[in-house]
Structure 1
């Protein structure tokens, strides 16, 4: 609390142009603020927001292809670990240019999410005090919390960045986590540093596949953690790569690329190799007299193969929530679902309408779960049963009741669903005679099998669904009006995928079903959003499956997503007949062309959400 008041005093002094009090800020932040003041940056103004061209962004991605591969894998891990925190994870190159982002979709559509986009520069001279820029300058992990940011417009953000080093000690990239939730800052900072260390280790294993890689640490139980030193050496003892922990553990001995094993450790190379190449752990002293445990984690080409041990990682933190089995964050849909439990308590029939692939059966199963019924969920595809057999299949039949009847008879699907839920899918296909029988059943909840004399009372929750317009079918006398009113006691309209505001969450949910280990970048999600998706979630899931199958890496980026480019001439179909809407649509499309089809940049420049941009580009 004392630090917070000191920060506020420093903030007030900064914004009125006075000298901020010494000791009120940490040294790194204080020096950064001073540099920003000397550059003439106005802390109450808006920072410069430079974004490189798409061609230059793609060139940088190609230059960092291997690093990017490992970075996106770690971004996926971070995404799972800090899920639910309203956050964005960014991967940048050594110049502070953001190359990729993976984010919570709420953050992605916020004003902050529209500034941290692929291609954006985050150097201190433009963006003021920020974690990405300072991590480059300080060559160390940096966390900037809230109003420690130089520009007041970033005062509600917490940003944590860690540099990624190569074996020569040069910065080659950056990882950053930015969030508006301050509850887990310290934990997130630690996870970002771990992810950067894991990337560095992965690069050593990949780039030095032909060499021996030794892991060492003063405590044997730490050999499989990110705290262990890693050292890649040739069989003649020359050191080719070192990770950061190895440099720290051998401090004072000045370990460098080109050093010899025997310059660092008080042991003959041959003796050490004889011990570790058999898979054992050897205890040796370094030249400073400290004792360490050592094990071989990679034998290199030509030797016995052994997969490197994966360092121990923190388990992903998954927020507790009711698992619906589907995504439901769209306001239009959540409003409809508020009264669902009450509707089932009143035993109202529930009718679900939506296009093919919008998840009608998943919603029906959710209705069953919400009802709390102990009986079975019985689904009936009304369009797949022959008209002559429909009534018998639904209500059952006695033995020998009609030609081809089962010898033992059948209780029928309605009685099977007793104390549970009967789901009538494709209800518009129910034949006319069966509509009359179904209406009679719904009025009495009594079932009499074909050929039987005795009726039985059942307790069934009725859920129906169709992708057709039942009101139109009633008007055309193809569907009984009284049955329609009986089935639609509580209506749920499932929005088409192209109209869902929670599209990004749906993509992440479906990708997790298809390939839980895969990541997808924000730019890839943006490209997917441009498609009309007539097959809705079913079509999207198939597209993700294809992208996973065709990918030679464990992530989906913008290059893995093939879409038809929209026609950018004129306006979208919805805006053509409205003058004011037409002007806005033209502005969005013209801006889209001017920024090389970068949707996030359009949203940022025009101050609108990405969802709005998508809607005007869809056709």
Structure 2
């Protein structure tokens, strides 16, 4: 390779046999076109209006491809890859990438609207696959331009049953090593899309899978053939054409011209749901199963294409139920298990919507306690009732007390976790009782003389600066020091390095299997998120309502982004605190969205009416 590269850049004849023939031929074409391998390649990008038009033209393909790209990305995630879908002209329509690659020079070049024709970009996999209609890989310095020498790219064409190219799938990474495994995954993904097209284009036909071995009927090696209600072939995949080589496996031919068993005779066995043994007209034995039933008047039920079951990955018992790829969070989680094992009270801080309750539930999970997770919104409990709510009360202990008394939330959390959310809102008058409880874990209900010992993991959370409250004597310093034996500080969404993963995780929760493009994630990442992950979830829900296809791209967010409310001014109490300002903005945003309804705003945010009124008055 070194000799070939040196010869190319000197303008000498490339030594015979030093390159795979497809690359050698491509280098020669690039030379003939006058491309300088030491220069930067031509980087033409179509305007978005053209990309949008091409996306609309390729809508059926794009619907299938984006879902397959998402699966492919999950298979090679963390390998510094980008997955790209191009149309039949080699113009990139969509990408899904790792964050690191997206920020690199190569990642900024492989974007929607970019073309990868050989006469502009030199030797590359997308360009070669477009020319040859065959899966192609170009590794490292096999690229014509020296600036691409650190990349490896693998592309596979997506063909219809007539052998016409509909588009291309490409995986590129920032490594020059050979990626045979990834190349195989790309080819498999392209084949899966082609199979999906058979079903997509054959809604009114039967679809049969066939293979010489029954155990291969559910794999990509199986042939797929769609047949009309009268027995005419309407579509056949590439595996099917290979298995029926030598026979007229063409569109419009009849089932009886391919297989010994007559169409209606085979149909009876296939519709029973079983696998039948059949021979083609060359005498080769095959197994066949029905994968889709045509819309016929004598068929009682319609069934879609059967999909292979993909078991979910089994996570470790202590794995969190949320995204934690950001370095600051993963470092904290590494220490958190030890803190929980020691029974230390844990204090979770962060802006509103950053996932404090999720973290609290993870702490409960880590503790492996058999008791309940008991959350308490300290800001929603009236000051005069706070002590009785936490520690319980005896019958008739005070006016309006419950007839039979109440055990209290601390006892309800025995052998479990007591989560004190919005702990900064605990009334100053109740802080002494809470401090005493934390010191000895003893509970005495209001009006009672008996003291009960409990075993509780304490987790507190707030989006306010308790240090400032301590300085202002609004919060007891000794209580604060008792609560924050171990602190977990959750960064705001805009500071998270795993933003893209958070978006995809939320999308998987809201609409499993629905892909989201890189361009959509980039559009989201450019905006501010005062409500953090909670606000992001709402925006994604609106995008799902507005989407036009079975995918989410940047167009889904144009209207919500334009209509989003930005409130720069806060109430006087919050103006000087970033955490309080973010909370105030969220409260005012929800208050405006609910038409000024205090009760509904408090309900939606899980706050007390008093807290809401304080921020919107």
TM-score (normalised: structure 1): 0.79
Distance in 2 (alpha carbons) for counterparts of 1:270 and 1:415 = 71
Call closer, same or farther: CA 1:315–1:271 in 2, change over 3 Å.
same
Change over 3 Å in CA distance of 1:442–1:249 after alignment to 2: closer
The answer on 1:535 being equivalent to 2:562 is no
Give the 3-state SS of the residue equivalent to 1:356 in structure 2.
coil
With a CA cutoff of 8 Å and minimum separation of 6, indicate the structure with the bigger relative contact order.
1
Q: Give the counterpart of 2:552 among 551, 556, 568.
A: 556
Over 3 Å counting, the alpha-carbon distance change for 1:41 and 1:387 in structure 2 is same
Q: Which of 306, 310, 331 pairs up with 2:306?
A: 310
Shift in Å at residue 115 of structure 1? 1.8
Q: 1:169 deviation in Å?
A: 0.9
User: Which runs of 5 or more structure 1 residues have no equivalent in the other structure?
Assistant: 1-6, 574-619
What does residue 497 of structure 1 align with? 493
CA drift of 1:465 comes to: 1.6
Measured in 2, the distance between the counterparts of 1:478 and 1:334 equals 33
What is the aligned counterpart of 2:466 among 454, 467, 470? Answer: 470
Q: CA deviation at 1:520?
A: 1.1
2:483 & 2:277 partners in 1: Cα distance? 76
Q: Structure 1 pair 487/519, CA: closer, same or farther in 2 (3 Å)? A: same
Which of these residues, 510, 515, 519, is aligned with residue 519 of structure 1?
Answer: 515
Hey, what does 1:545 align to over in structure 2?
541
1:71 to 65, 76, 96: 65
- The aligned residue for residue 107 of structure 1 is 101
Equivalent residue, structure 1, for 2:356: 360
> 1:584 maps to what in 2?
none
| Cα distance between partner residues in 1 of 2:255 and 2:132 | 31
Using the alignment, how far apart are the partners of 2:178 and 2:353 within structure 1?
38
Deviations 1:17-59 (A, max 9, x none): 4444333332222322333333343434432222111000000
- Contact residue 85 and residue 169 of structure 2 kept, 8 A: yes
Shift in CA distance, 445/297, structure 1 to aligned 2, threshold 3 Å? closer
Confirm whether residue 51 of structure 1 aligns to residue 45 of structure 2.
Answer: yes
Match of 1:325 in 2: 321
State the distance in 1 between where 2:480 and 2:31 align. Answer: 70
- What is the CA–CA distance in structure 2 between the aligned matches of 1:371 and 1:210, rounded to whole Å? 55
Aligned 8 A contact 2:372 2:417 in 1: yes
258-267 vs 379-388, which moves further: 258-267
Evaluate the alpha carbon distance shift between residue 235 and residue 61 of structure 1 in structure 2; reply closer, same or farther with a 3 A threshold.
same
The Cα shift of 1:262 comes to 4.6
Paired residues of 2:152 and 2:178 also in contact (CA < 8 A):
no
Output aligned runs, 1:122-141, within 5 Å.
122-141=116-135
Does residue 170 in structure 1 map to residue 168 in structure 2? no
Q: Give yes or no for contact 2:207–2:291 (8 Å, CA) kept in 1.
A: yes
| CA distance in 2 between partners of 1:315 and 1:401 (Å) | 55
Aligned length: 563
Show structure 2 runs of 5+ residues with no match.
570-617
Contact 1:528 1:563 in 2 (8 A): no
Distance 1:126 1:315, change over 3 A: farther
Q: Distance in 2 between matches of 1:350 and 1:311?
A: 45
Q: Cα deviation per residue 1:520-558 (whole Å; 9 max; x = unaligned)?
A: 111121222233233221122233234335546432222
Distance 1:230 1:492, change over 3 A: closer
Q: Secondary structure at the match of 1:519?
A: coil
Larger displacement relative to structure 2 (316-325 or 31-40): 316-325
- The answer on 1:61 being equivalent to 2:51 is no
For residues 503 and 476 of structure 2, the distance between their equivalents in structure 1, rounded to whole angstroms, comes to 39
Q: What is the root-mean-square deviation in Å for CA atoms of aligned residues? A: 3.6
What SS class does the counterpart of residue 210 from structure 1 fall into? coil
1:378 corresponds to which residue?
374
Q: Distance in 1 between matches of 2:280 and 2:439?
A: 87
In structure 2, distance between residues paired with 1:269 and 1:395 = 76
